[in-house]
Amino acid sequence: MDLPTLIAHYGYAAVLVGAVFEGETVLLLAGYAAHRGYLDFAAVTGLAWLGAVAGDQFFFWLGRRHGQRLLERRPVLRGRVAEAFALIERHPVAIILTMRFLWGLRMALPIAIGLGRVPWRRFAELNALSAALWAPLVAGLGWSFGALLAGQEAMLHHYEHWVMAALAVAALLLRAAVRRRRRHPEPKR
């Protein structure tokens, strides 16, 4: 099975699942794939919106219902949630609207918000608005990247599959390095 066929079969599912977590890389690649005609841009943004809203609502609920127990069991998460909680207390609306643009705090912020005093309905409204801004913006960046490369289409056609695969692998490696660094921080001097 070639890459365009894989994208056509699994691309939408990858966008939905990726958006539940920190899905910027998946969404950028999906925007690029939409420009190339492998996926539909409206479907990509709609699924990204749905996944982002559902994921953040789940993490909000998790914070509201099980937040304290979760923090006791996961010390790594405790530090990130404490950092996020300080931001939320000062600027709750701004943080909810921009939370998906704050890389590395994407799951911690909704958990921290759930631990706080923000009513669930208010969070749901702002979360939906934030996702409605995020999904077309990030997918549009991927689309625009594809448009910039359109002039090089003949050369790109031979290498695009490798470039997309390399970008996906690089994003996974970067994410693993960031997680490792958070779990094992360097000692302070």
Q: Tell me the pLDDT band of 154, cut-offs 50, 70 and 90.
A: low
Residue 189 within a domain: no
Residue 131: per-residue pLDDT? 94
Whether 41 has a pLDDT exceeding 80, the answer reads: yes
How much is the average pLDDT of 20-44?
90
45 assigned to some structural domain: yes
pTM of the model: 0.75
Q: Which residue, among 39, 3, 22, has the nearest Cα to 142 in the 3D structure? A: 39
Residue 79: which domain range?
3-183
Decide if 115 is inside a domain.
yes
Residue 43 lies in a domain: yes
* Cα→Cα distances 40→9, 25, 43, Å: 12, 17, 5
3-state secondary structure 84-139: HHHHHHHCHHHHHHHHHHCCCCCCHHHHHHHHCCCCHHHHHHHHHHHHHHHHHHHH
Q: Is the pLDDT of residue 106 over 80?
A: no
Kindly state the average pLDDT of the residues 145-155.
Answer: 73
Q: What is the pLDDT of residue 22?
A: 75
For residue range 67-82, list pLDDT tens digits in order. Answer: 888 778 877 777 777 7
- Look at residue 27 and tell me whether its pLDDT is greater than 80: yes
Phi, psi (5° rounding) for residue 24? Answer: -60, -45
Kindly tell me the sign of the dihedral angle through the C-alpha atoms of 51, 143, 38, 104. Answer: negative
The DSSP annotation for 135-160 comes to HHHHHHHHHHHHHHHGGGHHHHHHHH
Residue 10 lies inside a defined structural domain of this protein: yes
18 lies in some domain: yes
Write down the pLDDT at residue 185. Answer: 66
Percent of the chain with pLDDT over 90: 30
| Residue 34 neighbours by CB distance under 10 Å | 24
Mean pLDDT of the chain: 84
Q: Which of 25, 30, 22 is nearest to 46 (CA)?
A: 30
Q: Which helix (H) or strand (E) holds 33?
A: helix 24-35
Domain count, the chain: 1
* 188 part of a folded domain: no
pLDDT of 187: 61
